Each structure stands twice: as structure tokens, then as C-alpha cells.
């Protein structure tokens, strides 16, 4: 019985360790602070490099607009431009 309890404990620790998210580091640049504070409030920043192979400048503009208009992200117009410019410069196709 003790071996069974130990096996369950070890399995739970392994699952917990695997479930922890790794922190992603985006490229340094003007606007990174706005990306981290606004985008990371709702989702992981993993989406930025994941989408970079498919999004060009117009795609990033549309993506930022979608987050605001479709998903209700509370990002003001000035910050939206800074975020889009950062994404286009550092992760544009």
C-alpha cells in the first residue's frame, strides 16, 4: 500500500511540473512594455512568435484590431499603435 501511495505522489508531482508554463521572452524593442502589459493580461505571449511566420504588417494590424474590437481588450488607440508597430518590426513576416 505504501508503494502505491508513493507512486501516486510521484505521478502527481510529475503532472504538476509538466503543467507549469515556461515564461517566454520577447525581443527587446520599443513598445515591448505595452505588449507585455496589455497582451499578457489576457493570454500567453507565446502567441506572438507562434503567429510571426504567418502575419505580415497588415496581419498584425488586423490582429491588434481583433483583440480590441472582437474580444474587448481595453487597449487605447495610442497603445494599440505602439503594440502593432512593435509586432510588425520585431515579428513581421
CATH number at residue 82: 1.10.760.10
pLDDT in tens, 18-75: 445 567 899 999 999 999 999 999 999 999 999 999 999 999 999 999 999 999 999 9
What integer is the mean pLDDT of 67-85?
97
pLDDT of amino acid 24? 86
* pTM tops 0.85, yes or no: no
pLDDT of amino acid 1? 61
Question: Which structural domain, as residue segments, surrounds residue 66?
Answer: 24-91
**Residue at 19 is within a domain:** no
**Opening angle at CA 33, ends 66 and 68, nearest 5:** 15
Query: How far is Cα 23 from Cα 41, in angstroms, rounded to an integer?
Result: 14
Please give the tally of structural domains in the chain. Answer: 1
What are φ and ψ of residue 44, in 5° steps?
A: -65, 150
**Residue at 66 is within a domain:** yes
Taking 70 as the threshold, does the pLDDT of residue 5 lie above it? no
**Residue at 14 is within a domain:** no
Amino acid at each position: 500500500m505504501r508503494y502505491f501511495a508513493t507512486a501516486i505522489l510521484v505521478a502527481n508531482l510529475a503532472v504538476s511540473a509538466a503543467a507549469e508554463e515556461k515564461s517566454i521572452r520577447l525581443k527587446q524593442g520599443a513598445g515591448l512594455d505595452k505588449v507585455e502589459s496589455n497582451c499578457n493580461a489576457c493570454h500567453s505571449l507565446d502567441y506572438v512568435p507562434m503567429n510571426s511566420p504567418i502575419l505580415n504588417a497588415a496581419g498584425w494590424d488586423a490582429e491588434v484590431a481583433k483583440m480590441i474590437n472582437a474580444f474587448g481588450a481595453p487597449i487605447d488607440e495610442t497603445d494599440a499603435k505602439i503594440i502593432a508597430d512593435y509586432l510588425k518590426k520585431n515579428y513581421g513576416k
